[in-house]
Amino acid sequence: MLGSLAARVLDGSDLDEALAVVERDPITNVFVASRIYAAGLDPWRLGGEVWGFSRHGKLESLCYSGANLVPVEATPDAVRAFAERARRQGRRCSSIVGPAEPTRLLWELLEPYWGPARDVRATQPLMATWGPAPADIEPDLRVRPVRPDEVDILMPACVAMFTEEVGVSPLSGDGGAMYRARVAELVQAGRAFARIEDGRVVFKAEIGAVTPHCCQIQGVWVTPERRGQRLSIGGMAAVIEYALRDFAPIVSLYVNDYNAPARAAYRRVGFTEVGTFMSVLF
């Protein structure tokens, strides 16, 4: 494991420089940027650490180390420094996720120590839109923000989506307490949206990360018996309208390359591909 310069844990004195780094690409870096905007660089509030890599006294790259390990604007030298720090502390994350090239290098360096992974998703298109869905698409007016008293209605859909997407249940370990708290937090913030029929969710999506520049949709799900009925198109058109109106001027998401129906639906409502992510799941 090589690295001529070491990564260090950032603190409050680095905040302005760290924000300047994440703002170089507000779409790609929205997750880490949202954490820093919300919690600063205090590890207790962040639920993790932000590592920095500097060259000639200037902060060049970041890596968020929490439930996820996420490289930000990471040069090859920075990735090597982040990999060395991650190797020394041992794996604490459930995934490595970020722009494909630095994430691929980070995993190549860590795989001998952390492998094997449960799943590697090497190509995940990053998509964004700057405006509402095309005029010929009607947003589904039955898609609306979930109310705090509807968390119990939303939870089964969230658990089904997570299990289907990630391959493990979010109820394992602590019985789902942390996952439920996160879902409730998104509901309370007005960032969980659903179409509910007869007390059951048939479509849902959340806005997981928000900055002044961009927000990121996550957890898009249609109940299995209603798939193929274009619920995701009208539903996503509605969520985009809420996102642009209430949260940020750019709406983003990333999707598995093999999920052709989802990619087609996202393109239909105005998303275009702007980059490629990679995820390593443990």
Q: What is the pLDDT of residues 37-66, one digit of tens each?
A: 999 999 999 999 999 999 999 999 999 999
For residues 111 and 166, membership in a common domain is answered with: no
For residues 155 and 240, membership in a common domain is answered with: yes
For residues 270 and 198, membership in a common domain is answered with: yes
For residues 150 and 271, membership in a common domain is answered with: yes
pLDDT value for 264: 96
| Separation CA 62–CA 69 (nearest Å) | 11
Residue 246 resides in a domain: yes
For residues 89 and 25, membership in a common domain is answered with: yes
Q: Which residues contact 91 (CB under 8 A, 6 or more apart)?
A: 110, 113, 114, 282
pLDDT value for 132: 98
Residue 134 resides in a domain: no
Q: Which residues contact 37 (CB under 8 A, 6 or more apart)?
A: 19, 211, 212
pLDDT per position as a tens digit, 113-150:
999 999 999 999 999 999 999 999 999 999 999 999 99
Q: What is the share, in percent, of the chain residues with pLDDT greater than 70?
A: 99
For residues 78 and 201, membership in a common domain is answered with: no
Q: Which two tokens stand for residue 223?
A: 């109940």
Q: Is the separation of the CB atoms in 49 and 83 below 8 Å?
A: no
pLDDT per position as a tens digit, 261-274:
999 999 999 999 99
For residues 191 and 103, membership in a common domain is answered with: no
Q: Does the pLDDT at position 239 exceed 70?
A: yes
Residue 185 resides in a domain: yes
Q: Is the separation of the CB atoms in 193 and 247 below 8 Å?
A: no
Residue 90 resides in a domain: yes
Residue 234 resides in a domain: yes
Average predicted confidence (pLDDT) for the chain: 96
Q: Does the pLDDT at position 169 exceed 70?
A: yes
Domains in the chain, number:
2
For residues 112 and 56, membership in a common domain is answered with: yes
Position 172 confidence tier, pLDDT thresholds 50, 70, 90: confident
Position 2 confidence tier, pLDDT thresholds 50, 70, 90: very low
Position 5 confidence tier, pLDDT thresholds 50, 70, 90: confident
pLDDT per position as a tens digit, 180-190:
999 999 999 99
For residues 242 and 177, membership in a common domain is answered with: yes
Domain containing 99 equals 8-116
- 253 to 126, 217, 260: CA distances (angstroms): 6, 5, 15
For residues 165 and 250, membership in a common domain is answered with: yes
Residue 122 resides in a domain: no
Residue 209 resides in a domain: yes
Q: Does the pLDDT at position 4 exceed 70?
A: no
pLDDT value for 175: 87
Q: Which residues contact 31 (CB under 8 A, 6 or more apart)?
A: 64, 68, 70, 208, 209, 216
Q: What is the share, in percent, of the chain residues with pLDDT greater than 90?
A: 96
For residues 104 and 203, membership in a common domain is answered with: no
CATH of the domain at 268: 3.40.630.30
For residues 213 and 264, membership in a common domain is answered with: yes
Residue 132 resides in a domain: no
Q: Which two tokens stand for residue 132?
A: 């509402």
Domain boundary among 81, 116, 151: 116
CATH of the domain at 12: 3.40.630
pLDDT value for 153: 98
